[in-house]
Amino acid sequence: MADNEYVVQMKGITKVYPNGIAANQGVDFNVKKGEIHALMGENGAGKSTLMKMLFGLEQPTEGTITVNGEEVSLTSPTVAISKGIGMVHQHFMLVPNLTVAENIVLGMEPKKNNLFMDYKKAVEITEEYAKKYNLQVDPDAKVRDIPVGMKQKVEILKALVRGAKILILDEPTAVLTTQETEELFKELIHLKEQGYTMVFISHKLHEIKQITDRLTIMRGGKSMGVYNTADISKEEISRLMVGRDVILTVEKEQAQPTDVVLRVRDLEYTNEWKKKMINHMSFDVRKGEILGIAGVEGNGQRELVDMLFNLNMPDSGVAKVNGHNILGESQRKIRDLGVSLIPEDRMTFGMAGAASIEENLISDRCAQKRYNNGPLFNMKKIHEDSDKLIEEYKVLCKNRTQKVGMLSGGNIQKVVVAREFSAEPVLIIADQPTRGIDVGATEFIRKKLVELSREGAAVLLVSADLNEVMELSDSLIIMYNGQIAAYFEDTKDLTDTVMGEYMLGLKQQSPEEVRRVQHGE
Amino acid sequence: MLEQILSMVFTTSFGYSIIRITSPILFAALAAVVAEKAGVTNIGLEGIMMISALFGVLFAYWTSYWWVGVIGAMVVGVILALIIGIFALKLKTDIILAGIAINLVGSGGTIFLLYLFTGLKGNTASLTTPSMLTPKLNIPILESIPVIGPIFSGHSILTYVAFLLVFLVWVLLYKTALGLQIRAVGENSHAADSVGVSVLKIQYIALGISGALSGLGGAYMSMYYSQSWNTGIVAGRGFIALAAQAMGQGEPLGSMFASLLFGFASALGNKMEGMQGFSSFLVAAVPYAVTIIGLVLYASTQVRRVKKSRFMEKGKKEAEKS
Amino acid sequence: MGNKRMMRFEILRGCAAIFIAIAVAFIFILICADDPLNALYCLLVRPVFNNGALNISSIYMILARMTPIIFTGLAVCVMFSANQFNLAGEGTVMAGGFVAGLVGIYVPLAAGLHPVVCILVGAAVGGALMLIPAWAKVKLNASEMVCSLMLNYVILYVVMHFLSNVFADRSQGSVQTYPYLETARVGKLIAGTELTWGFLVAIAATVLVAFFMFRTRWGYAIRMIGINESFSKYSGMKVGGIIVVSQVIGGVLSGMGGAIEVLGRYNAFLWKDLPGYGWTGITVAILAKNNPIAIPFAALFISYLNRGCELMSIYAGVPAEMIDIIQAVIFLFFAAEQFMAKTRQKMVVKEAKEELAKKTEPAAEGGNA
C-alpha cells in the first residue's frame, strides 16, 4: 500500500507513564483519508492514551507519528491543531461560564483594534460554521445552560473552526440520547461527504457497524489488528475486543437468596442542571445474591451509587440496609451498618496514592479496637493483617510500605478490593470493579465477589461491562434514562441482543414485570 | 458617644481618608482578582508590595523622578510575580509556599536589599524628598463642588489610577481576548489547553499583571502614604487584599467595595483613636477583625446557597420520616 | 519508584537546594562584604568553630534558638499534613507567650508547678484561637489561609493593647510588663547560657508529635486527609472534626512554643511585633518535608544559618537579614516538586524497564491462580 494513502500513521507507539504503567505497547495505527475509522476496545485498553498522543496531550515514549506523509513531533495540542488534527473529548473541554461563541473562538479570538475582543464577529463565525456543517447551536447561551447534545456540537464546531481535517471523537455517544446519537451520526456522515477524516473511539458495536469504514481493535495496550468494518462480524469484533477466550467464565453455584438487605424505594434525583437522573427507582438486593445493574453509562448508575453512599442527596426516596436508613447518613454510619463500596472513581475515592499499601488497607477500620492499644496503634496487628491481605489478594508489590500510587491499576484495585471485602460486609456495592485493569486482577476480583455472595453477602454490582454483569449477576436490572428498563430474575438465558435492546431504550418492560425486583412489601 | 462618632463620620475629611486608605488595598485586591481569575492564588502580594515599595523609593532617589520610581516599583513587582510563577508553574512548588517565600524576602530581606543597594543599614529609608513623592492631583471642576470636592479631589495621582484600574481590569477581563483566555484558564484549564491556549503563558501573564498592580500598591505606600520606606509599611495590606478578593467574589467591582469596607473600618479606627477611652491598638485591630467577620459572613451565605441547591436538608428530613 | 530510591533522590535534591542557597548567599557576600572570605567564614564555620576551638557559647545559642522554631515547625507540620494552610503560627506564638507571661507575673504558684501551668495556659490559648479559622473552614468553607493571616494582626494589636495600656510596667523605658515571678521562669539547662529546659521539652514534643502522627489513628487520619480528602470521607473518617483537631494541635504547639520562649529567654514580656517564628516554622516544616522527626534537624540547620548571619553581621558588616533571603531560596527549591524532575524521570524509566524485564518471565504471579 502506498504510504500517501494514509493521513495518519502511528508506528510502534509505546507509552509508559511516570508511575510506570505501560498504557500502549508497540501500537501501529493508520487512518485513510476520508474514512471514519473506529478505534475500539474496552475501557482501559489504551485507546484514549493513543489518541492523546495523536492530539499532542501526551508524548510517546517510543514510536513515530506521521501526518499527511510528514513525520511530526506533536508536543502540544497547538502543534496538533496546526497539523489539522482536532479532538472532541469524552469529557467536554468547555468552559461553563463562557458563552458558546466564546468557547468556540477561544484561543483564536477575532479582535477589534488589535486589542478588544470582537464578540459580534465570534457570534458570526459560530453561526457561519453551524450553518455550513448543519450543527445547530445557540451562540449567546452560556455553556453551563445548554443540553449535552449541544455541548457536543460546540466541541465539533470548535475543531472545525480551527481548520481540523482529521477529527478524533472520543466516545462521543457515551453521554447522548438515542435521538441525539442518530443526529450526530447524520452530521458525521455529512462531514465525511465533505472530505473530513474521523477517528471514532467507541465500544458500542452497533454504532461502529452503522457508521465506520474500517476499525482497529485494541486490547491491553496492544493493537489486535485492522479490519474493514463490512468484513468483520460483530461476534468477531466482540471476541477480539473483550477476549472472552482469555477470561474464563466464573464458576458459581445457584444463588440461594434470602432476606432483603438493601431496600430502595421511590428514589428520585435531579442533578444541578435540572436533569432528572433517577426517576422513581425501587429495588431490593437480597442476602446471598448478586444483583447486577447494567446499562449504558450515564443512565443514572453513578448517581444511584453516590446516593447509596451519601456522596450526594436524593430529592426524595428511601434506602435502608437491614431496616436502617442510609440516605444522608455519614459514611461512618453506613460502613458500620456493614456496607462496603468499591468506588467507580478509585483514584479519587478508593485510595490515597501517596500513602503506603498498609495505610490504604486500614482506612475504614483505623479506629477499631483490634488495631489500637489505648491511644496508640497496634502496629503488630496492622502489619500482620496487611501482610495477610496482600497475600490473600495477591497484590503484586515490594512490601506493605510501598506507595499505592506506584502500583499498576490492577494492583491498586486489588488493594481497594482487599480493604472493602475484608470488612465483613453484609452489602457490597461494586461500581465498575474491574474497569481498566488487567485480566488477571479482573478474574481474581470477580471470583472473590462471587465467593463473598455465596458466603452470604448481598452484592449490588454496577458495571458498564456487559461480560461482567452477565457473568456475575444472579439477577439483573437494566437501567435506562434513570429508570429500571428491565429486570431479569435469571441471567442464564440472556443474550447481548436482548440486553442491548433494553439498554438502548428500544424496549421497556411493563411496570408489573419491573416490580418483581421488589421482594415483599 | 455614638453621636460623637457619627459627627465624625459625616465629615468630608473622613470621606477623604477612606479613599486614601482604600487605594493601596485596592491595587493589591485587583492584583489578587486578576491572578485568581487565572486560577493562581498570589499570596506573595504582601512581599511584593514591601519590596516594590522599597524599590519605588530607590528608583525615585536615584533618578529624582517620582514617575521612574513608580515604574520601577511596577517592574520589580512584575519580576517578583514571575519568580513566583517560575517556581509555582514550572517547578511545581505549591503556589502558596512560593508566595510565602516572597513574603519572607519582603519582611526581613528588604533590609538586606536596602544595604545591598545603598549601603544603608536599618529598617527605614528616608531617602525621599517631597519632590520625589507622587504628586497630589486637584481635579479642576470637581475640586470646587462642596462636599464632593474635598472628598474626591486632592488625592495622589495613584489613587485615581487605582479607581480607574477597577474599570480597566474589568475591561481587560471581559472585553479583551486576553481576558477571555484568563477566565478560561482559571475555570477550566484543560479546555483552554485543548484549543492551544497556553495555560502556562496565560498564568504567567496574569501573575505579571498582578505583580505590576501590587507594585503600584507598594509605590503608593512608600511614595505617598508613608512618605518613606520602613519595614512595617505594608502591615498585612497584601493579605487584606486577598480577603477583599474573596469577599468581592473575585470581581473587580465587588473587590473594590470590599476594599472600601476595609478602608472605612480603618478610617473609623483612625478617627476614634483621638477620642478618649479608645486604645489605638484595639482600633488598629478593627479592620483585620472586620475582614474576618466579613469573610465569615460571606462564606456563610455561600454555604447556605449550596445547601439549598442540593436539597440537603429536605432529603435528610424525608429520609428520617420514612 | 521504590521507597529507598525515592529517599535517596530526595536527599540529593535537598542538598542541591541548600547548595544553591549557599551559592546565592556567596554572591551577595561577594557584592557587599569588604572581606568576603571572612564573611563566609563567619556564616559557615564561626557558629561552631572559632580560632581553632569549639565555639561553645555560640553552639549553646544555636541550640537555644532552635526551641521556638521546633515548636512552630511541628505546628506547621501537623496542619500542613492535613493540607490546611493555616498561617496563624505567628499570632498564636505571640498570644500563647503573652498569656503565659501574665500567668507568670500575676498568679503565684509553687516553683516546679508554675512554669508548667504557664506553658499549659499558653498552649490552651493557642489552641483556642486556632478554633476560629478551623471553624470557619469546616463549617463555612472560608479560606483558613486568609482567615489565619487576619487573625495574626488581630492578635498582634490586641496583645499590644493589653501590653501597653493595661499591664505595662511604667517604670521601664520601653514598653514591657512587670518581670515574671522567679518561680515562673523556665530554668536554664546549663547555667550561663541561653539554653533552657524548654529545649528538652521541644525534643520531647517532637517525639510525641511523631508518635501522634505515625502511631495513632488521629495522626493517621490527619495524614490521609492531607493526601486525599475524598478518600478519607469515603473511608468513614470524620473529616471536619479531624481538620479542626489538626489546626487546634497546631495552635497548642505554637502557643506552647511562645510560652517557653517568653518565660525562658526574657525577664518580662516585651515583644512589640509578631516574632517571626511562625514563618520560620513554615520553612522548617518544608525542609523537614512535614516529617516531625526531621523537624529538629531542620530547625538546627536554620538556627545555625541564623547564627551565622548574626556573626556575619557583627564581624563582617553584612546585615543579618540576609537569612531571610537564604531561607526563601532554600524554601523555594525544597518545595519545588519538579526541581530536578529530569533526574527523577530517568530513575523511574530505568526502574520501570527493569521491572518490565522481570515481569515478562513469571507473568502468572499476577494472580492467575
A251 pLDDT above the threshold of 90: no
| Out of A1-15, A349-363, C315-329, least confident range | A1-15
Which chains does C contact via 3+ CB–CB distances below 8 A? Answer: A, B
Q: Smallest Cβ distance to B195: which of A92, A107, A317? A: A107
Of A363, A372, A440, the CB nearest to C366: A440
Average pLDDT over residues A372-382: 93
Residue A38 C-alpha cell reads as 473506529
Question: Is the pLDDT at B151 greater than 70, yes or no?
Answer: yes
Distances (CA, A) of C191 to A300, B192, C64, C187: 73, 65, 12, 9
B308 pLDDT above the threshold of 50: no
**Do A290 and A230 share a structural domain?**
no
Interface test mutation site (partner B, options A83, A89, A93, max chain B beta carbons within 10 A): A93
Phi/psi region, residue A477 (left: phi>0; alpha: psi -120 to 50; beta: rest), is beta
Question: Which residue in chain A has the smallest CA separation from C225?
Answer: A352
pLDDT of residue B125: 67
Any domain includes A167 = yes
Q: Is residue A410 part of a domain?
A: no
A176 and A61 in a single domain? The answer is yes
Q: Is the pLDDT of residue C257 over 80?
A: yes
Q: Which of A286, A325, A333, A326 is nearest to A306 (CA)?
A: A326
| pLDDT of the residue at B282 | 86
Here the CATH number for the domain that contains residue A503 is 3.40.50.300
Check residue C78 and give its pLDDT: 97
Asked if the structure places residue A396 within a domain, the reply is no
Q: What is A175-201 written as a DSSP string?
A: T--HHHHHHHHHHHHHHHHTT-EEEEE
Query: How far does the CA of residue C43 sit from the closest CA of chain A (Å)?
Result: 37
Cell of B288: 483585620
Cell numbers found for residue B43? 499570596
R_g of chain B, CA atoms, integer Å: 21
Q: Is the dihedral angle over the CA atoms A418, A311, A465, A451 positive or is it negative?
A: positive
Cβ atoms C325, C43 nearer than 8 A:
no
Q: With contacts defined as CB-CB under 8 Å, which chain A residues touch C355? A: 20
Is A256 found in the same domain as A235? no
**Are residues A305 and A165 located together in one domain of the fold?**
no
Query: Which of these three, A209, A242, A275, is where a domain ends?
Result: A242
Mean model confidence pLDDT for chain C: 89
A316 inside 8 A of chain B by CB: yes
Residue C59: is its pLDDT beyond 90? Answer: yes
Asked if the model's pLDDT at residue A308 lies above 90, the reply is: yes
Q: Other C-beta atoms within 10 Å of A356: how many?
A: 18
Q: Who has greater pLDDT, A203 or A309?
A: A309
Residues 6+ apart with CB under 8 A from C188: C195, C196, C197
Q: What is the pLDDT of residue C335?
A: 85
Query: Cα–Cα distance between C292 and C290 in angstroms, integer?
Result: 6
Last residue within a domain, chosen from A220, A242, A264: A242
Q: How confident is the model at residue B187 (pLDDT cuts 50, 70, 90)?
A: very high
Q: Are A172 and A221 part of one and the same domain?
A: yes
Separation CA A317–CA A359 (nearest Å): 36
Q: What is the DSSP letter of A299?
A: S
Could you tell me if A105 and A151 lie in one domain? Answer: yes
What pLDDT does residue A274 have? 65
At residue C367 the predicted structure's pLDDT band, cuts being 50, 70 and 90, is very low
The 10s digit of each residue's pLDDT in A109-168 is 999 888 899 999 999 999 999 998 888 899 999 998 888 888 889 999 999 999 899 999
- pLDDT over 90 at C360, yes or no: no
- Nearest Cα neighbor of A22 from A52, A51, A46, A47 is A46
Mutate to test the interface with B, among C69, C154, C272, C337 (most CBs of B within 10 A): C154
Q: What is the predicted ipTM? A: 0.85
Cβ distance of B101 and C142 shorter than 8 Å: no
pLDDT at A392: 93
Q: Give C226's contacts (C-beta < 8 A, 6+ positions apart).
A: C80, C81, C82, C83
Share of chain C above pLDDT 70, in %: 95
C133 in any annotated domain: yes
Domain enclosing residue C104, as ranges: 67-303
Question: Distance between CA B311 and CA C276 in Å, rounded?
Answer: 46
Q: How far is CA C218 from CA A363, A372, C295, in A?
A: 11, 11, 20
Query: Are A179 and A297 contained in the same domain?
Result: no
For A292, half-sphere exposure in the C-beta direction (CA atoms, 13 angstrom radius) is: 30
Contacts of A103 in chain B (CB under 8 A): 191
The answer to whether position C51 is within a domain reads: no
C-alpha cell at C166: 493595661
Which residues are A37's β-sheet partners?
A199, A214
- Which sequence spans correspond to the domains of chain B? 2-321
In a domain, C171, yes or no: yes
Q: Sign (positive/negative) of CA torsion B91, A359, A394, A347?
A: negative
Do A314 and A229 belong together in one domain?
no
Of residues B15 and C120, more confidently modeled: C120
C31 domain-assigned: no
Which range of A80-84, B91-95, B144-148, C295-299 scores highest in mean pLDDT? It is C295-299
Number of domains into which chain C is organized: 1
User: What per-residue confidence (pLDDT) applies to A2?
Assistant: 47
Statement to judge: residues A256 and A198 lie in one domain: no
In-domain check, residue A53: yes
Q: What is the pLDDT of residue B322?
A: 37
Chain B residue numbers touching C276 (CB-CB < 8 A): 107-108
pLDDT-derived band of residue A85, with 50, 70 and 90 as boundaries? very high
Average pLDDT, integer, range A172-193: 83
Mean pLDDT computed over A480-484: 87
Given a contact cutoff of 8 angstroms between Cβ atoms, the answer to whether C132 and C122 are in contact is: no
CB-based contact B194:A99 (threshold 8 Å): no
Residues 6+ apart with CB under 8 A from A5: A32, A33
- pTM of full prediction above 0.90: no
Q: What integer best gives the mean pLDDT of chain B?
A: 85
Q: How far is CA B213 from the centre of its chain?
A: 8
**In this structure, are A26 and A157 located in the same domain?**
yes
Confidence band of B1 (pLDDT split at 50, 70, 90): low
Across the range C39-60, mean pLDDT stands at: 89
Structural domain tally of chain A? 2
Is the CB of B1 inside 8 Å of chain C's CB atoms?
Answer: no
Please indicate, yes or no, whether residues A215 and A289 belong to a single structural domain of this protein.
no
Non-local CB neighbours of A451 within 8 Å, separated by 6+ positions:
none
Residue A64 lies in a domain: yes
Q: Which of A242, A269, A302 is the last residue of a domain?
A: A242
Q: Facing residues of B189 across strands?
A: none
Whether residue C174 is contained in a domain is answered as yes
CATH code of the domain occupying B2-321: 1.10.3470
Question: Which is higher by pLDDT, B286 or B47?
Answer: B47
Please give the Cα distance from C140 to C159 (Å, whole number).
Answer: 27
Residue C303 has pLDDT above 70, yes or no: yes
What are the cell numbers at A401?
Answer: 510500605
User: Cβ–Cβ of B322/A77 closer than 8 Å?
Assistant: no
Does A267 lie in the same domain as A151? Answer: no
Determine whether the interchain pair A20/C351 forms a contact, defined as Cβ–Cβ distance below 8 Å: yes
Please choose, from the candidates A77, A91, A191, A192, the residue with its C-alpha nearest in 3D space to the C-alpha of residue A151: A91
> What pLDDT sits at residue B312?
36
pLDDT (mean) for A355-360: 94
Domain range for A16 is 3-242
